Structure 1
Amino acid sequence: MHGTDGVTLAVPPVGRMRAEEGSASMRVGSGRCQHGPDGHLDIDHTQPWILPPLAILPGPDPSDSARPCQVSLTSECQGSFTSIMNATAQAADSTSQTPPSTPILVGALVSRLLMILALGLLTPVLVRLAVPDTTALEGAFWTNATVIVVDLLTIALVGWLLAREGKRIGELLHFKLADLGWGLLLAVILYVVFLVATIIGNLVAYQGAPPVSQEQLRLPLAVGILAIVAAVTIAIAEELLYRGYLQPRFEAKLGRWPGMLLVALVFGLQHIGFALTSPQALVSKVVSTLLVGIVFGLLYWWRKRLMPLIIAHALVDIVGLGLPTLLIALS
């Protein structure tokens, strides 16, 4: 930029990028650009203008190959030019960040619920086709172990949703050494909450303790090992989806408490697929996991980090799901 109130910007005339001397004029943005005989580009900001295509610029003149082309802007025009450049940068940035629409958020909210329901319905049927004398309770253990497939799909879904917003899944899974300590503390809290919530769920469903099954369970060792792995994948998938992705976005749309409670409710409902052995088992599971989901939401508010919750969730599921299944398989 050049002028009494501007700054000179020198551009070497390389190839076809050389301004023509004489009286050639171009329309370039929010002012009229006049190329004068002194080699400067004077812009009148009172006239509409657009940037000139490079094709209209003539080739280099050997006689002035060492002379730069200079552009003059008045202070008022400089402001217009800066505004245009800022708007262009913002428009380019917005194309890489697409905020989630309400239908996409609702679809993400019910996606895992539907996948687990399908898994809970289909897995026992497929297991019985392979092993006809498989009981309903044994089929439920198979469902718990094979949920790894749904977990991987859930993680992929969250990754895709974040990518639409110009974000990466690693931003939510960032690990700090302090997360181990917080994860252990939260695991103790959650385990106590889980026990209390289970008692409440049983009181609602059974009006007391649930009946004790006398069934002799038979599970292959592979199911026991998969149950340990599933305890970890469940923690990663559920915390990524419900607390890491959905909770902040529904809180932004509905308000803090309504958004958190909605996500906790669906978190509880998704466990229907794990409790299809009886209506009472279904009610008990949904009530208990709804209460646990609310506590998960509160802990996320407290820590404002996902990794401690993932660690705590995995530890609770290993103790409550993985190890019991493995011990049954080993027996």
Structure 2
Amino acid sequence: MRVMPVRPSRGWIGAEVLIVLGLSLGQSAIYSILSIVDRLTRNEALNQQSSQLNTSVTPDRPWLDLSYQIANIAFPLVPVALALYLLAQRNPYGARSPFRLIGFDLRRPGFDLGLGALTALCIGVPGLGLYLGARALGLNTQVQASGLADNWWTIPVLVLSAAQNAVLEETIMLGFLYTRFRQLNWRWPVIIIVSAAIRGSYHLYQGFGGFAGNLIMGVIFGLVYLKWKRVMPLVVTHTLLDVSAFVGYALLAPHVSWL
């Protein structure tokens, strides 16, 4: 029997969007806005403050700390499961799998890896330049991309953390939001700008350089997604960028002064 497309009301679609964002990146955006207000009302300039990522919880007990890190990686993926579940329940294209709907699958591994790596290369170097420039201008904090203690599992955890960030952000900010916003009859330029603005907002805790860089990245990612209708290449891109940032910082920070 053919499954007909489900057409929920605009109010229901809007509620889904607010719930998913409220449980995930929208919540992060609110806290990030509060964080930048806090930073701007301190006596120190932004570039004299630091933002720590991937911090140890119990550095004196490595195995317990590892358990915390795994939990911190796993639980943020629950909103991804919710978003995919909602897409499956109210799929504008009927019986089509939500994974296939947004291109979050392994049907084109070579294409996804190639496009993802190329996009990462095009974004990575300018992104680093923007970060360093924003710090020099006093518009950004010093981002300490890895605050983990030195353990055998440090690098694998940083890689998993990078992959989690990529899956969380791209499936929700691109796959879920673009599908739902389109169902609300939003125009594509508006969808791209709104999604990119949310992406930039939840990086405001880093400073205005983090906001601007991720806003631009959000626009680029949106254009790539609209061109190929696949989230997976951008999951690859995001993972490569974050692995470079997290692992690169862990390896280089003790030896250089400009990070």
TM-score range, shorter chain: 0.5 to 0.7
Q: Residue type of the partner of 1:158? A: A
Mark the CA change 1:211 to 1:97 in structure 2 (over 3 Å): closer, same or farther: closer
How do 1:122-133 and structure 2 match up within 5 A? Answer: none
Shift in CA distance, 299/153, structure 1 to aligned 2, threshold 3 Å: same
Deviation at 1:211, TM superposition (A): 6.5
Identity of aligned residues (%): 22
CA contact 2:88–2:97 (8 Å) conserved in 1: yes
Aligned to 1:107: 19
Asked if the contact 1:219–1:328 (Cα under 8 Å) also holds between the matched residues in 2, the reply is: no
Q: State how 1:259-274 maps to structure 2 within 5 Å.
A: 259-272=191-204
Structure 1: distance between partners of 2:78 and 2:251: 24
State the shift of 1:283 in Å.
2.7
Q: Distance in 2 between matches of 1:162 and 1:233?
A: 20
* Equivalent-residue separation in structure 1 for 2:214 and 2:78 (angstroms): 21
* Counterpart residue type for residue 246 of structure 1: L
Partner of 1:191: 124
Aligned length: 213
In structure 1, how many angstroms separate the alpha carbons of the residues matched to 2:233 and 2:166? 11
Tell me what 2:171 maps to.
240
> RMSD value over aligned CA atoms?
3.8
Q: How does 1:1-331 map to 2 (within 5 A)?
A: 93=4, 98=8, 101-116=13-28, 140-142=53-55, 147-166=72-91, 167-171=96-100, 172-175=103-106, 176=108, 177-199=110-132, 201-202=134-135, 206=138, 219-221=149-151, 222-252=153-183, 253-272=185-204, 275=205, 281-325=206-250
Shift of 1:97: 6.2
Q: Structure 1 residues 162 and 319 mapped into 2: Cα distance closer, same or farther (>3 Å)?
A: same
Shift of 1:98: 4.4
Contact 2:173 2:195 in 1 (8 A): yes
Bigger radius of gyration among the two: 1
Quick one: distance in 2 between partners of 1:203 and 1:158?
Answer: 39
Larger deviation, residues 186-195 vs 290-299 = 186-195
Is the 8 Å Cα contact of residues 221 and 234 (structure 2) preserved in structure 1?
yes
Shift of 1:202: 3.9
Indicate if the aligned counterparts of 2:84 and 2:99 stay in contact, CA closer than 8 A.
no
The worse-fitting range, judged by mean Cα deviation, of 317-326 and 289-298 is 317-326
Q: Report Cα offsets for 1:286-330 as digits up to 9, x if no partner.
A: 22211221111122223332211111111111001244236669x
Query: How far 1:152 moved relative to its partner?
Result: 1.3
**Quick one: distance in 2 between partners of 1:285 and 1:150?**
24
Q: Secondary structure at the match of 2:161?
A: helix
**Pair 261,117 (structure 1): closer, same or farther in 2 beyond 3 Å:** closer
Label 1:240 to 1:218 Cα distance change in 2 as closer, same or farther (>3 A): closer
Distance 1:193 1:108 in 2: 31
Pick the structure with more helix per residue. Answer: 2
Give distance in 1, aligned partners of 2:234 and 2:8: 27
Contact residue 201 and residue 287 of structure 1 kept, 8 A: no
CA contact (8 A) 2:115 2:233 kept: yes
Is contact 2:141-2:207 (8 Å) kept? no
Q: Alpha carbons of 1:115 and 1:212: their partners in 2 closer, same or farther (altered >3 Å)?
A: closer
Q: Give the Å deviation of 1:223.
A: 4.9
Deviation of the 1:137 alpha carbon: 5.4
Q: What secondary structure does 1:141 align onto?
A: coil
